[in-house]
């Protein structure tokens, strides 16, 4: 039986039965019309209950690969010895903090360990308010910083569909150079977007309000896989610091070598830029619940001065820290940061080839293994091709490749695979996408030809994208060469 007292079928059918589903409908699945039951993972692959293998292009949580043996072994061995809270001395938490400090600018030398990215951002907000004595927060449009109430309030991606914008939250334009206020033809988009933040800061101060922090994902993800123009963060930090606030870099989606060129995505902004607080999560535990806040001694001391302790039962536990160290081991031993730079650059080249071939691809943007493919209805207006993007995701799944969409228009195909994603995987993904887009374009052209013929039938004779989904599957596609 199930939780509601009825007798329900076992397994996947329980989830598909409205009367028996054990979780709320607000807990959504990928591919809700035809969900997958995944039972195993290895490297960059996931396996369903029938044994079918899927290439995972979106799981940035399994950072060094699903079920990496070194990470699994580290967790298992420490679990056999001890797993308790962090009120006792233990080498693991010291070792992990030391290893993390070696990756960060010197002034970010105090660490708080937690269980999730949401906990990390919530603590960052508390730290900023205690240090500055201010309350207000500036965020970027379409930002998402976590699911706690405090973070929903500073996430336009969420609060616009809930209780709306609080008076202490202020939203700056997203520095999107493809469809934002200042685009790729602007001579200085970083300065232009930073000036928007400056105007916002001035407006806030004129109202007598005081800024505690500016929060930004170092590379906005749900905003559409955005790459902020270099120099933007430095200028914003100057405006925020003059207003008495601190700069919080949210690295939860994009840190730990994913961008290839650097270990941290905020470093893309230049060597002279150092945030006041950095938050991290997801990837740092490779699926184990680990998160961290790194900050300066000055910020930490202001927090300590309250006299109220900070304690997190499982944050910094021996097992969590063993896992964290193991992830860093794998990143170093397998040279995954350099791998992300190489394979990510190769995938970008393949996708640029597709952009030249398929007008529906308006933009290919990214760095390392953080890439977005922006699908549009026409080049002049850059109208998001939302339905078409969903169609492509569905057809890719039929071909055993897992993708999803992001962006305000849900039209950006996002690539954030495990860091072991290979060049052969990149070739396979690009070739399959090419075949799907070619097939879609041919069907649309055939439909238009029918309409233009004398006595051509009504528009209903043309298949919708939903009807196209029921067409025979496309497998493979032509190889792409460089």
Q: Are both 356 and 322 inside the same structural domain?
A: no
Tokens in use for 363? 């933009």
Sign of CA dihedral 56, 115, 315, 280: positive
Choose one of 311, 333, 355: the last residue of a domain. 333
Q: How confident is the model at residue 2 (pLDDT cuts 50, 70, 90)?
A: very low
| Boundary (domain end) residue, out of 307, 333, 359 | 333
- Residue 234's pLDDT is 98
pLDDT tens figures, 298-311: 999 999 999 988 98
Are residues 147 and 273 both part of a single domain? yes
In a shared domain, residues 271 and 124: yes
Domain at 380, CATH number: 3.90.1150.10
Q: Establish if 160 belongs to a structural domain.
A: yes
Mean pLDDT of the chain: 91
Total number of domains constituting the chain: 2
Instruction: Find all residues with CB under 8 Å of 194, minimum gap 6, and list them.
Output: 231, 232, 235, 236, 239
What pLDDT sits at residue 17?
64
User: Based on the domain organization, do 357 and 450 belong to the same domain?
Assistant: yes
Are 329 and 340 found together in one domain?
A: no
**211 SS3 class:** strand
Q: In the prediction, which pLDDT does 161 show?
A: 86
Which structure tokens are listed for 104?
């960060």
State whether 95 and 140 are in the same domain: yes
Contact 273, 234 (CB under 8 A): yes
Residue 211 predicted with pLDDT over 60: yes
Same domain? For 238 and 133 the reply is: yes
In a domain, 169, yes or no: yes
pLDDT digits (tens, 9 = 90+) for 6-27: 445 556 566 556 666 666 767 7
| 17 within a domain of the structure (yes/no) | no
Flag whether 62 is in a domain. no
Residue of 367, 293, 285 whose CA lies nearest to 326: 285
Q: Could you tell me if 260 and 130 lie in one domain?
A: yes
Name the residue range of residue 125's domain.
69-333
Q: What is the CATH number of the domain that holds 236?
A: 3.40.640.10
Same domain? For 306 and 349 the reply is no
With the C-alpha atoms ordered 384, 385, 390, 394, is the resulting torsion angle positive or negative?
A: negative
Q: Are residues 86 and 175 in the same domain?
A: yes
pLDDT in tens, 124-157: 999 999 999 999 999 999 999 999 999 999 999 9
Measured distance CA(118)–CA(98) in Å, rounded:
23
By the 8 A CB rule, do 140 and 175 touch?
A: yes
Residue 146 near residue 154, CB atoms below 8 Å: no
Concatenated DSSP letters for 103-121?
TS-TT--EEEEESSHHHHH
Q: Which of these three, 291, 318, 333, is where a domain ends?
A: 333
Looking at the chain, the number of H-run helices and the number of E-run strands are 14, 15
pLDDT (0 to 100) of residue 480: 44
Is the pLDDT score of 461 beyond 90? no
Q: Is residue 209 part of a domain?
A: yes
| Radius of gyration, CA atoms only, the chain | 24
Residue 20, pLDDT score: 62
Q: How far is CA 61 from CA 232, 286, 341, in A?
A: 27, 6, 18
- Residue 64 domain-assigned? no
Whether the per-residue pLDDT at 456 is higher than 70: the answer is no
Residues 31 and 95 grouped into a single domain: no
Q: Is residue 16 part of a domain?
A: no
27-75 per-position pLDDT tens digit: 778 888 889 999 999 999 999 999 999 999 999 999 999 999 999 999 9
In tens, the pLDDT along 233-279 reads 999 999 999 999 999 999 999 999 999 999 999 999 998 999 999 99
pLDDT tier for residue 215 given thresholds of 50, 70 and 90: very high
Residue 410 lies in a domain: yes
Residues 37 and 78 in one domain: no
Instruction: List pLDDT tens digits, range 385-409.
Output: 999 999 999 999 999 999 999 999 9
> DSSP letters along 356-418, please?
HH-TTEEEEEEETTEEEEEEBS-TTT--B-HHHHHHHHHHHHHTTEE-EEETTTT-EEEE---
pLDDT tens digits for 333-390? 999 999 999 999 999 999 999 999 999 999 999 999 999 999 999 999 999 999 999 9
pLDDT of residue 476: 47
């Amino acid at each position: 039986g199930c939780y509601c007292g009825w007798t329900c079928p076992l397994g996947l059918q329980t989830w598909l039965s409205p009367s028996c589903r054990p979780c709320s409908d607000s807990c959504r699945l990928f591919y809700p019309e035809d969900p997958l039951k995944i039972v195993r993972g290895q490297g960059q692959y996931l396996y369903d209950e029938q044994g079918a293998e899927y290439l995972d292009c979106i799981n940035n949580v399994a950072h060094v690969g699903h079920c990496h043996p070194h990470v699994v072994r580290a967790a298992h061995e420490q679990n056999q010895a001890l797993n308790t809270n962090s009120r006792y001395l233990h080498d693991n938490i010291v070792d992990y903090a030391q290893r993390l400090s070696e990756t960060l600018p010197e002034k970010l030398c105090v660490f708080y360990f937690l269980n999730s990215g949401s906990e990390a951002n919530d603590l960052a907000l508390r730290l900023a308010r205690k240090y500055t004595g201010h309350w207000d927060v500036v965020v970027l449009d379409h930002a998402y910083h976590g699911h706690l109430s405090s973070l929903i309030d500073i996430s336009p991606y969420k609060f616009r569909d809930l209780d709306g914008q609080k008076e202490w939250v202020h939203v700056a334009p997203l520095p999107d150079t493809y469809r934002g206020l200042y685009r790729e033809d602007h001579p200085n988009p970083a300065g232009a977007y930073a000036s928007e933040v400056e105007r916002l800061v001035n407006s806030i101060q004129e109202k007598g309000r005081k800024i505690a922090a500016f929060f930004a994902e170092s590379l906005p993800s749900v905003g559409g896989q955005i790459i902020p123009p270099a120099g933007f963060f430095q200028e914003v930090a100057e405006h925020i610091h003059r207003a008495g606030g601190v700069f919080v870099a949210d690295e939860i989606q994009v840190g730990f070598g994913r961008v290839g060129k650097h270990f941290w995505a905020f470093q893309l902004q230049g060597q002279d830029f150092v945030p006041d607080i950095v938050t991290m999560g997801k990837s740092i535990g490779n699926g184990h619940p680990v998160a961290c806040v790194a900050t300066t001694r000055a910020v930490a001391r202001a927090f300590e001065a309250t006299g109220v302790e900070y304690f997190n039962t499982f944050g910094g536990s021996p097992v969590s820290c063993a896992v964290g160290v193991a992830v860093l081991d794998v990143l170093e031993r397998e040279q995954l940061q350099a791998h992300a730079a190489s394979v990510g650059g190769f995938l970008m080249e393949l996708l640029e080839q597709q952009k030249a071939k398929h007008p529906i691809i308006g933009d290919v943007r990214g760095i390392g293994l953080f890439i977005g493919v922006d699908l549009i209805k026409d080049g002049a207006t850059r109208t998001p091709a939302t339905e078409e993007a969903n169609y492509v995701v569905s057809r890719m799944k039929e071909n055993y490749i897992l993708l999803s969409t992001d962006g305000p228009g849900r039209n950006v195909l996002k690539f954030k695979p495990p860091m072991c994603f290979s060049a052969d995987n990149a070739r396979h993904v690009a070739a399959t996408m090419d075949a799907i887009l070619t097939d879609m374009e041919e069907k649309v052209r055939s439909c238009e030809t029918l309409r233009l013929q004398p006595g051509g039938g009504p528009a209903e004779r043309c298949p919708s994208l939903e009807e196209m989904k029921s067409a025979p599957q496309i497998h493979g596609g032509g190889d792409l060469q460089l």
